[in-house]
Amino acid sequence: MQVFDVVIVGARCAGSPLAVQLARRGFSVCVVDKAHFPSETPSTHIIQPRGSASLERLGALESVLAAGAATITRFTMLNDDVRIEDEFDRATFPLPGLCVRRTTLDALLVDAAVAAGADVRTGVKASHLIKVDGRIVGVETEDGPIHSRLVVGADGRQSMVAKQVDAEEYSTTPMGRLPIWGYFEGVGDREGRLRIARIGETAFLASPTDCGLYMVCVAVGADCDRPREEAFDAGIASWPELADLLADARRTGPLRVMANWHGYFRQSAGPGWVLVGDAGHFKDFTPGQGISDALCQAERLADMLPAGLADQSAVDEATRRWWRWRDRDAYAMHWFATDIGAPGPSTPVLTEVLRGIADDAHARHTLMRVLNHEVAPKHLVAPRRLAIAAGRAVRRRPRHIASTGREVAAAVRNEIHRRRSARARPAGMDIR
């Protein structure tokens, strides 16, 4: 009976990159995925410069660019009447961001895993885990069992691995908005600008992507009862800048949605198993962090595993340390994404925070670094900036002083809740 060092369930942007790096370290790796590639999956398509750097270290950046991925060098954030513009300058960000459809990206990553020597089995569904004396020792598939020293769940939000090990969720957040996205042909704007906006109660994410297409996401309230086509078209019409951009374009293919999502961390390591990517952590999609998170998490896990996997205690200690690192790395961005993706119109204090950032070149640059996950959000939205913003909100809208006070009070309560949440994790580890 063959026993692999690692079996990875899920071959997308967490599983295949991990397989590449483990195979390069000399591990025997098997990857299974029920999908046949190319294959779609819900995604913002956005890869920050740090994700591009991970692709470069993986040896996949050149092929992703050759496949037509759009390079993102400019950024616009619009919040009603507040507009923030900046660039991913080469001095700070040696590589650009990217926008690429998952049908393109994931297929290239699967090819990279095969080229690295991993045994990749697509179109094969893993049905359940194999457990011996409380330890996970493999997966059962429709083609038979696959035994391994470590099982990695890289199988997304509906992770079979997470369900089988009963991975506890914590720091959960409710579904904010319902994203509806589609693709357009014939958009003349190929300047590499990522647009993020909130107009009234509707949010937007738009960017050129691969194959000459332009991707538009309209995010409506989770309780929206309009048909998706009507909600999508009404959203575009509500943002004149976007409507003008698409005036001569043609939408191609059906609209896509991501429904019934919520934010969470999950217990992500246990005897013989570990979760990476969306299987272990999912946040609001607004800042487009998921792909880069998956790439960087896979890279760190590959580095942290011991040289040999026969020592079970060493493997389990390594995966627990990786889990602690993952939470420390992701916690602040988890709540930042929740805040900027919150449903409803922009609040007075948030509007003034963004106005202050728009007027400050250093703050604009810090925002770019926050979105690249290299600077913690607290360095951008510091207490002093919040206090100044609250004062401006009161001066601009003196009749709304009560609502401004409620917003500040809610922010204080949220911070208390989040600190308590950090202390209430399954492993009992303080990540602050």
Under 8 Å between Cβ of 326 and 280:
yes
* Domain membership flag for residue 70: no
Question: What's the CA gap between 286 and 342, in Å, rounded?
Answer: 9
Question: What's the CA gap between 99 and 359, in Å, rounded?
Answer: 28
Range of the domain at 208: 177-257
Nearest to 11 by CA among 28, 29, 24: 29
Give the model confidence (pLDDT) of 209-252 as tens digits: 999 999 999 999 988 888 999 999 999 999 999 999 999 999 99
Residue type, 56: E
Under 8 Å between Cβ of 13 and 294:
yes
Do 140 and 23 lie in a common domain? yes
- What does DSSP say about strands 263-266 and 29-33: parallel, antiparallel, or unpaired? unpaired
Do 384 and 308 lie in a common domain? no
- What does DSSP say about strands 3-9 and 29-33: parallel, antiparallel, or unpaired? parallel
* Average pLDDT for the chain: 91
Do 11 and 31 lie in a common domain? yes
Do 202 and 317 lie in a common domain? no
* Final residue of a structural domain among 275, 304, 336: 336
* Domain membership flag for residue 160: yes
Question: What's the CA gap between 356 and 359, in Å, rounded?
Answer: 5
Question: What's the CA gap between 332 and 110, in Å, rounded?
Answer: 31
Q: Number of folded domains in the chain?
A: 3
**The domain that contains 308 carries what CATH number?**
3.50.50.60
Do 222 and 118 lie in a common domain? no
Do 28 and 114 lie in a common domain? yes
Residue 307 confidence (pLDDT) above 80: yes
Do 13 and 147 lie in a common domain? yes
Give the model confidence (pLDDT) of 35-67 as tens digits: 999 999 999 999 999 999 999 999 999 999 999
* Domain membership flag for residue 22: yes
Question: What's the CA gap between 47 and 344, in Å, rounded?
Answer: 26
* Domain membership flag for residue 117: yes
Do 182 and 248 lie in a common domain? yes
Indicate the DSSP class of residue 212: T
* Final residue of a structural domain among 231, 257, 283: 257
* Final residue of a structural domain among 228, 257, 286: 257
* Domain membership flag for residue 61: no
Residue 332 confidence (pLDDT) above 80: yes
Cα separations in angstroms, 252 against 182, 199, 215? 7, 25, 10
Residue 428 confidence (pLDDT) above 60: no
The helix, strand and coil proportions of the chain, stated in percent and rounded to the nearest 5, come to 40, 25, 35
Which residue's structure tokens are 């493999």? Answer: 138
Question: What's the CA gap between 220 and 232, in Å, rounded?
Answer: 8
Do 144 and 236 lie in a common domain? no
pLDDT classification of 411: cutoffs 50, 70, 90: low
Q: How far, rounded to the nearest angstrom, does the alpha carbon of residue 428 sit from its chain's CA centroid?
A: 25
Do 32 and 120 lie in a common domain? yes
Q: Max CA-CA distance within the chain?
A: 74
* Domain membership flag for residue 83: no
Give the model confidence (pLDDT) of 260-301 as tens digits: 999 999 999 999 999 999 999 999 999 999 999 999 999 999
Three state DSSP letters for 239-279: CHHHHHHCCCCEEEEEEEECCCCCEEEECCEECCEEECHHH
- Six token digits for residue 21: 């790096």
